[in-house]
């Protein structure tokens, strides 16, 4: 695996502007991993200070986790993106089984902290990753995830007028669709018109993004256009057919109910060729 990572790094050396740190440097930068920021699916994240004085977040990848592919995916995707809205990957460490990724520090932590989600990312996974009958896996799976994230942001609005005792994701999406479709307010009265419009716009865009069939979801380019457009110019999507997540495969199939999903041959595992699109 070490060889596979080294091979990847060498073949991409020309288009990666990342700094390679030794593991002992990482230990110094993090003062012996003593300031933990959080824990993700691939390991713990620690605060550190680089020699330049810049603060960083160091993700110490768990040894037993994955086969190195997650490291390669992260470097190949985030490592190439330089955008103010995407956390910057500064560098990495690879020394045998010791692997770490060094990001710019987000001093306010993650969005998750603000929307109190307890679900890290399975809840955002597009249904075609589970059911091949829905459609091929493409960048539209990321559009779906983005839609779910928008929905989470809308759903965790403190002054949202949703019924507290029906807080399941499925119920919420159906409820919010009906509210918007019937021209009813989603937010309580004390919200300003501007706040109401922003939430309504995010909701309509999210409902487009979480359409069951990838082909019915907009491109990210279109998503940005919709978010920037006047609310009046946005059309309501068809009511999304929602596939429940966070449950066993059987529950998903029963609740979703289309005959094609009942056929076990239609249930697929995540396509490994999709991993770069994470
Ligand atoms: N660049 C960063 N700046 C500040 N805190 C961070 C940074 N990256 C991660 N964290 C903290 O570490 C936690 C874990 O992050 P990590 O990216 O490992 O996992 P995740 O995004 O929650 O899930 P996944 O493992 O599925 O990607 C975050 O919730 C956040 O609190």
Q: 29-85: per-residue pLDDT in tens?
A: 999 999 999 988 888 999 999 999 999 999 998 876 667 788 888 888 888 888 887
Residue-level pLDDT at 187:
77
Which tokens is 74 given? Answer: 């992260």
* Length of the chain in terms of residues written: 278
Q: C-alpha 106: how far from its chain's center?
A: 16
- How much is the average pLDDT of 122-147? 83
Q: Which residue lies with its CA nearest to atom 7 of ligand 1? A: 57
CA-to-CA separations, 264 to 131, 245, 249, 269, in angstroms, rounded: 9, 17, 10, 11
Q: Which residue lies with its CA nearest to atom 28 of ligand 1? A: 38
Report CA(100)–ligand 1 centroid distance (Å). Answer: 13
Using a pLDDT cut of 90, give the percent of the chain over it. Answer: 36
Q: List all residues whose CB is within 6 A of at least one atom of ligand 1.
A: 37-42, 45, 57, 59, 87, 103, 105-106, 109-110, 112, 120-121
Using a pLDDT cut of 70, give the percent of the chain over it. Answer: 74
Q: In what order do the strands lie in the sheet with 19-20?
A: 19-20, 89-95, 98-104, 55-61, 43-49, 36-40
Report CA(46)–ligand 1 centroid distance (Å). Answer: 10
- How much is the average pLDDT of 164-191? 76
Q: Which residue lies with its CA nearest to atom 18 of ligand 1? A: 40
| pTM exceeds 0.95, yes or no | no
């Amino acid at each position: 695996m070490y060889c596979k990572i080294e091979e990847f790094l060498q073949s991409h050396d020309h288009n990666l502007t990342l700094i390679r740190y030794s593991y002992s440097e990482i230990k110094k930068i993090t003062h012996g991993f003593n300031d933990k920021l959080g824990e993700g699916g691939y390991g713990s994240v620690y605060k550190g200070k680089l020699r330049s004085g810049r603060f960083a977040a160091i993700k110490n990848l768990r040894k037993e986790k994955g086969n190195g592919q997650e490291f390669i995916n992260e470097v190949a995707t985030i490592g190439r993106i330089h955008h103010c809205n995407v956390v910057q990957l500064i560098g990495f460490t690879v020394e045998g089984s010791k692997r770490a990724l060094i990001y710019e520090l987000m001093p306010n932590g993650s969005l998750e902290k603000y929307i109190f989600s307890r679900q890290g990312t399975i809840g955002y996974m597009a249904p075609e990753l589970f059911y091949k009958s829905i459609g091929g896996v493409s960048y539209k799976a990321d559009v779906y995830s983005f839609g779910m994230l928008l929905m989470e942001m809308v759903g965790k609005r403190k002054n949202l007028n949703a019924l507290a005792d029906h807080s399941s994701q499925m119920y919420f999406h159906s409820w919010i669709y009906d509210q918007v479709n019937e021209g009813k307010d989603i937010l309580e009265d004390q919200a300003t018109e501007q706040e109401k419009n922003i939430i309504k716009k995010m909701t309509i865009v999210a409902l487009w993004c979480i359409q069951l069939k990838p082909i019915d979801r907009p491109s990210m380019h279109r998503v940005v256009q919709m978010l920037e457009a006047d609310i009046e110019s946005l059309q309501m999507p068809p009511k999304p057919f929602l596939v429940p997540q966070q449950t066993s495969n059987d529950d998903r199939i029963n609740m979703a109910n289309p005959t094609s999903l009942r056929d076990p041959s239609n249930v697929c595992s995540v396509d490994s060729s999709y991993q770069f699109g994470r």
